[in-house]
Amino acid sequence: MKVLLTGSSKGIGYKIAKDLLAEGHELALHYNKNESTLEALLEKDSTGSFSIQADLSKQDEIKKLVVPKLFAQPQQNLEKLRKTIHPQH
Protein backbone atom coordinates (compact mmCIF):
# COMPACT_ATOMS: atom_id res chain seq x y z
CA MET A 1 0.00 0.00 0.00
CA LYS A 2 1.22 3.53 -0.77
CA VAL A 3 0.51 6.06 1.96
CA LEU A 4 1.00 9.79 2.46
CA LEU A 5 1.47 10.23 6.20
CA THR A 6 1.47 13.78 7.52
CA GLY A 7 3.07 14.71 10.81
CA SER A 8 5.22 11.60 10.74
CA SER A 9 8.39 12.87 12.40
CA LYS A 10 7.22 12.61 16.01
CA GLY A 11 4.60 11.23 18.34
CA ILE A 12 1.87 8.97 17.04
CA GLY A 13 2.70 9.86 13.42
CA TYR A 14 6.23 8.51 13.89
CA LYS A 15 4.92 5.32 15.50
CA ILE A 16 2.48 4.79 12.62
CA ALA A 17 5.28 5.40 10.10
CA LYS A 18 7.54 2.91 11.86
CA ASP A 19 4.81 0.26 11.95
CA LEU A 20 3.80 0.73 8.30
CA LEU A 21 7.43 0.56 7.15
CA ALA A 22 7.88 -2.65 9.13
CA GLU A 23 4.87 -4.07 7.26
CA GLY A 24 6.51 -3.16 3.93
CA HIS A 25 4.34 -0.26 2.85
CA GLU A 26 5.69 2.51 0.59
CA LEU A 27 5.34 5.82 2.41
CA ALA A 28 5.64 9.51 1.69
CA LEU A 29 6.56 10.79 5.14
CA HIS A 30 5.75 14.43 5.78
CA TYR A 31 7.58 16.56 8.29
CA ASN A 32 7.74 20.28 8.96
CA LYS A 33 10.95 20.77 10.95
CA ASN A 34 12.22 17.43 12.30
CA GLU A 35 13.88 15.67 9.33
CA SER A 36 16.58 13.83 11.26
CA THR A 37 14.26 11.30 12.93
CA LEU A 38 12.73 10.32 9.58
CA GLU A 39 16.08 10.06 7.83
CA ALA A 40 17.29 7.69 10.55
CA LEU A 41 14.13 5.62 10.09
CA LEU A 42 14.48 5.57 6.29
CA GLU A 43 18.16 4.52 6.37
CA LYS A 44 17.04 0.95 7.11
CA ASP A 45 14.13 1.00 4.66
CA SER A 46 13.93 -0.79 1.31
CA THR A 47 10.34 0.04 0.28
CA GLY A 48 11.12 3.16 -1.76
CA SER A 49 9.69 5.38 0.95
CA PHE A 50 10.85 8.97 1.24
CA SER A 51 10.42 12.07 3.40
CA ILE A 52 9.20 15.44 2.23
CA GLN A 53 9.20 18.78 4.05
CA ALA A 54 6.20 21.10 3.92
CA ASP A 55 4.68 23.71 6.20
CA LEU A 56 1.00 22.78 6.02
CA SER A 57 -0.05 26.27 7.11
CA LYS A 58 1.12 27.54 3.68
CA GLN A 59 -0.96 26.57 0.65
CA ASP A 60 1.96 26.58 -1.81
CA GLU A 61 3.87 24.11 0.35
CA ILE A 62 0.94 21.69 0.55
CA LYS A 63 1.35 21.08 -3.20
CA LYS A 64 4.85 19.69 -2.54
CA LEU A 65 3.26 16.68 -0.88
CA VAL A 66 1.74 15.32 -4.09
CA VAL A 67 3.26 17.02 -7.12
CA PRO A 68 6.84 15.57 -7.08
CA LYS A 69 5.88 11.90 -7.08
CA LEU A 70 2.79 12.27 -9.24
CA PHE A 71 4.77 13.84 -12.06
CA ALA A 72 7.99 11.85 -11.66
CA GLN A 73 6.53 9.13 -13.92
CA PRO A 74 3.41 10.87 -15.20
CA GLN A 75 2.00 8.18 -17.48
CA GLN A 76 2.34 5.35 -14.97
CA ASN A 77 1.12 7.41 -12.03
CA LEU A 78 -1.82 8.91 -13.88
CA GLU A 79 -2.87 5.43 -15.02
CA LYS A 80 -2.76 4.22 -11.40
CA LEU A 81 -4.81 7.27 -10.37
CA ARG A 82 -7.36 6.57 -13.14
CA LYS A 83 -7.71 2.96 -11.99
CA THR A 84 -8.23 4.14 -8.42
CA ILE A 85 -10.98 6.56 -9.44
CA HIS A 86 -12.56 4.24 -12.04
CA PRO A 87 -11.61 0.69 -11.02
CA GLN A 88 -13.97 -1.01 -13.51
CA HIS A 89 -12.06 0.40 -16.55
Domain ranges of the chain: 2-85
**Confidence band of 45 (pLDDT split at 50, 70, 90):** confident
SS (H, E, C) 25-67: CEEEEEECCCHHHHHHHHHCCCCCCEEEECCCCCHHHHHHHCH
**pTM for this predicted structure:** 0.70
CATH fold, domain 2-85, is Rossmann fold (3.40.50)
Residue 41 pLDDT exceeds 80: yes
Whole-number Å distance between alpha carbons of 82 and 89:
8
1 pLDDT tier (thresholds 50, 70, 90): confident
Closest to 42 (Cα-Cα) out of 66, 20, 70? 20
Residue 3: strand, helix, or coil: strand
